Chains A and B, each alone.
Chain A
């Protein structure tokens, strides 16, 4: 059943309940369990490192989580359908290279971003077509597109990094509006839009319904192929947004960027309580999941913990979060 921040396949038939679930206390605790975990983690890190709780550092964490957060928000749609998108890192690279080259060829950066997002739509559509019309399992389809997009990024950039962008584009990465860093603002907007898609749009509910039971969804009159396509397109567009944030932050577009980005994104999604087998989506959880990963990396670096331990710790926290989530769910 629906609880705040979580959307289950059953919501298809109970849109009303979804709306009122915000006041359910039990739902709140469950939906925000990971948030509680994040606060505890923050408390511990604050004791260990006095720098950790400073506003500047907390904003750093949001900025440092913005790229992964954005990609993970999109990945939530794909995973909710029961699919997976391994190509997000390559889409990040391909679209940001496209944006970079267009800017270098004199196109205004705003227009270049529009073209980049369009390229993202095409990338997602290709994957969507392979999965729906082609019937290729998502894991395999995106394993293929991961290589194809990466290859294309390398081909059009000839392996070189593109750098030195106009101030406007750099502003997206390192500028601030009312003390809030731009990447954080972009992430917040991406969050609000994805949350809206899940909570207020038929599309979001249909995506979840398909993940829950494809046949049932079809029988309910949902255009399954269209919705699955849509999920991959949203995933690819948000990967593009992540790539644009990264490009702006670094003032550089790299054909090798985002290698392994899919794993961080998937980690954020599953930590947030979205099941890998589909049929549910927890968009708040995904955001918090990305912030947890960012917080752990930030805190451990502040304490200068050797990298070997950091890598293991991040893994431990992912497992712990998922186990806690499972435990919480079985109690209900």
Chain B
């Protein structure tokens, strides 16, 4: 009897897993269509044809986050487009600074021509990168964290270029949008941050808070962390709205959290303003302007459906793609600017 019960459970679980492994329908939406920003398959200008099949390693953060999954997809797509060889290496969690450094050390020893790095902290990859520079491996620094110039100079690290969008600007854009919607009317706003101490969360939040302070009619009443987590963001938003029911706008450091926040707004009976309504009704009781960050597919779908005000879309796919192109340019002896900014934009319903 007991054995039978176990067998049934086991079969059920196996069925669940097998059914699960069939991919569901494509998750993309038009705005994210991968080719939208590519001209003839190229993002950067003047990318030469590779003279041989270079091998490029991508030391990513964690694939536990769609942002980095898209970065990986862009990277792999570019490798395929240019006929190169390469691999993405990721660590278990975004705290694994040492494991990431170990991976880089291994990669440096394995004879790659170029290495694309998204260090977890500003410092954790410095020794490996110094070693890579000695071996003449081209280094492309992508997204976050940016290697500081002083560190690079001190350790003798040569960074080909930094590719990324400016996180501070993302927060500025969100605050400006809320202020624009209110058009001078007074309003309380809040920010839900990523994990405390994360450079990217600090930059985005600072951009938002600094800009909010510049508007006399805006008042910051909530500044809390949602730990990059959907459920924590749901709880934090619920609590913030209980404490200040008249909040009119909230900015979330990423889309995972904004989706939790959206659920909270729904549970508490708020009307989330989208499209033209954002300007029309901003500041009225029981209405909210909710802005996320990253432009992951689910958030874009909600924006399109008129459920979420907007999301600040960075282009992790493009960053991954451009990293390969920048590496090719450097390997072929071309010159690169110090920083390549990939586009950033508040995507609202009218954009989709």
CB distance from A165 to the nearest CB of B (A): 12
A250 pairs with B263, CB closer than 8 A: yes
A64 pairs with B21, CB closer than 8 A: no
Range class of the B interface residue count:
35 or more
Of B10, B23, B225, B243, the most chain A CB neighbours within 10 A belong to B243
Q: Which of B64-72, B96-104, B332-340 contacts A (4 or more CB under 8 A)?
A: B64-72
Restricting to B210-226, which residues have a CB under 8 Å from any CB of A? 221-225
Nearest to B230 among chain A residues (CB) is A250
Set of chain B residues within 8 Å of A310, measured between Cβ atoms: 225
Cβ contact of A250, chosen from B65, B69, B259, cutoff 8 A: B259
Set of chain A residues within 8 Å of B243, measured between Cβ atoms: 49, 51, 301-304
Nearest to B266 among chain A residues (CB) is A174
Set of chain B residues within 8 Å of A67, measured between Cβ atoms: 231
Nearest to B5 among chain A residues (CB) is A121
Q: Given A101-B20, A157-B20, A56 and B231 touching (CB < 8 A)?
A: no
Number of residues in A with C-beta < 8 Å to the partner? 59
CB distance from B259 to the nearest CB of A (A): 7
Of A57, A125, A157, A307, the most chain B CB neighbours within 10 A belong to A307
Complexed CA–CA distance, A157 and B21 (Å): 7
A152 interface contact, C-beta 8 A: yes
Set of chain A residues within 8 Å of B196, measured between Cβ atoms: 307-308, 311
Nearest to B94 among chain A residues (CB) is A259
A131 interface contact, C-beta 8 A: no
Complexed CA–CA distance, A118 and B14 (Å): 10
> Secondary structure at chain B's binding surface: helix, strand, loop or mixed?
helix
Complexed CA–CA distance, A303 and B92 (Å): 34
B298 interface contact, C-beta 8 A: yes
CB distance from B202 to the nearest CB of A (A): 12
> Secondary structure at chain A's binding surface: helix, strand, loop or mixed?
helix
Complexed CA–CA distance, A309 and B240 (Å): 17
Complexed CA–CA distance, A255 and B243 (Å): 32
CB distance from B70 to the nearest CB of A (A): 10
B9 pairs with A122, CB closer than 8 A: yes
B267 interface contact, C-beta 8 A: yes
A125 pairs with B6, CB closer than 8 A: yes
Complexed CA–CA distance, A120 and B138 (Å): 47
Of B69, B231, B243, the most chain A CB neighbours within 10 A belong to B231
B239 pairs with A298, CB closer than 8 A: yes
B21 pairs with A306, CB closer than 8 A: no
B224 pairs with A259, CB closer than 8 A: no
Nearest to A163 among chain B residues (CB) is B298
Q: Given A115-B16, A122-B9, A159 and B66 touching (CB < 8 A)?
A: yes
Complexed CA–CA distance, A104 and B238 (Å): 28
Interchain residue pairs with CB less than 8 A apart (30): A54-B242, A60-B242, A64-B235, A98-B13, A98-B16, A101-B24, A102-B16, A105-B22, A115-B13, A119-B12, A119-B16, A122-B10, A122-B13, A125-B6, A154-B63, A157-B20, A158-B23, A159-B66, A160-B27, A174-B266, A250-B231, A250-B263, A254-B230, A257-B231, A298-B235, A301-B224, A301-B243, A302-B242, A304-B221, A308-B196
Q: Give the interface of B toward A (CB within 8 A).
A: 6, 8-10, 12-13, 15-17, 19-24, 27, 63-66, 69, 92-93, 193, 196, 221-225, 229-231, 234-236, 238-240, 242-243, 256, 259-260, 263, 266-267, 298
Known: A60-B239, A122-B9. 8 other contacts (CB 8 A): A60-B242, A98-B13, A147-B92, A174-B266, A250-B230, A250-B260, A297-B235, A304-B224
Q: Give the interface of A toward B (CB within 8 A).
A: 49, 51, 54, 56-57, 60, 64, 67, 97-99, 101-102, 104-105, 107, 114-116, 118-119, 121-123, 125, 147, 152, 154-163, 174, 246, 249-252, 254-257, 259, 297-298, 301-304, 306-308, 310-311
